[in-house]
Amino acid sequence: MRKVLISALCAVTLAACVTQPSQQGYAPPGEVGMNKTTGGALVGAGLGGLAGSQLGHGSGKIATTALGVVLGGLLGGSVGASLDRADQAALDRSTQSALESAPTNQPVQWQNPDSGHYGTIVPVRTYQPQPGNYCREFQQTIVIGGQSQQAYGTACRQPDGTWQIQQS
């Protein structure tokens, strides 16, 4: 059952990467891809499922994973609906910077002065799953309209030097 759930979660997460052209046969700038709510929900579901799977034990692990997927999807959808491209760009830049060079437990902040949205990324653990490969666990907080949302994830350094968030 766990393998089925993980496979379904991976399929849903990969669907977030698919872009859809406009109905006219071309996609003008700003119209490529899915909307922010769907993308946020998918990322939230992935991170929520990961968190739920880490919290559950024994036969309750499936239930906590499923609950994490649902709650993460709901929270991620609300965050995604509120983040614009400038917010996302600031978050992405700060995340890459935090994962690359911030010491463990040192927050890296971002802010979009136009929207007023802001947040922090805090690397909490660095490890090597294989010699020469580096991964970092991190906590992320995003504040939109005074409402704070938190997520927890893991990212691994790619050969090109970027950090990729792990969805499993």
Q: Per-residue confidence of the chain (168 residues) as pLDDT tens digits? A: 444 334 344 434 333 433 333 322 323 333 333 445 555 666 667 777 666 666 666 666 676 677 677 777 766 655 555 578 888 999 999 999 999 999 999 999 999 998 999 999 999 999 999 999 999 999 999 999 899 999 999 999 999 999 999 975
Q: Are residues 41 and 104 in the same domain?
A: no
Contacts of 32 (CB under 8 A, 6+ apart): 19, 20, 21
Where does a domain end: 47, 82, 117? 82
How many whole angstroms separate alpha carbon 65 and alpha carbon 70?
Answer: 9
The candidate with the shortest Cα–Cα distance to 47, out of 164, 152, 160, 156, is: 152
Q: Are residues 76 and 111 in the same domain?
A: no
Structure tokens at 161: 């030097």
Q: Are residues 27 and 97 in the same domain?
A: no
Domain that holds residue 62: 2-82
Total structural domains within the chain = 2
Q: Are residues 72 and 101 in the same domain?
A: no
Q: Are residues 90 and 161 in the same domain?
A: yes
Q: Name the pTM for this structure.
A: 0.53
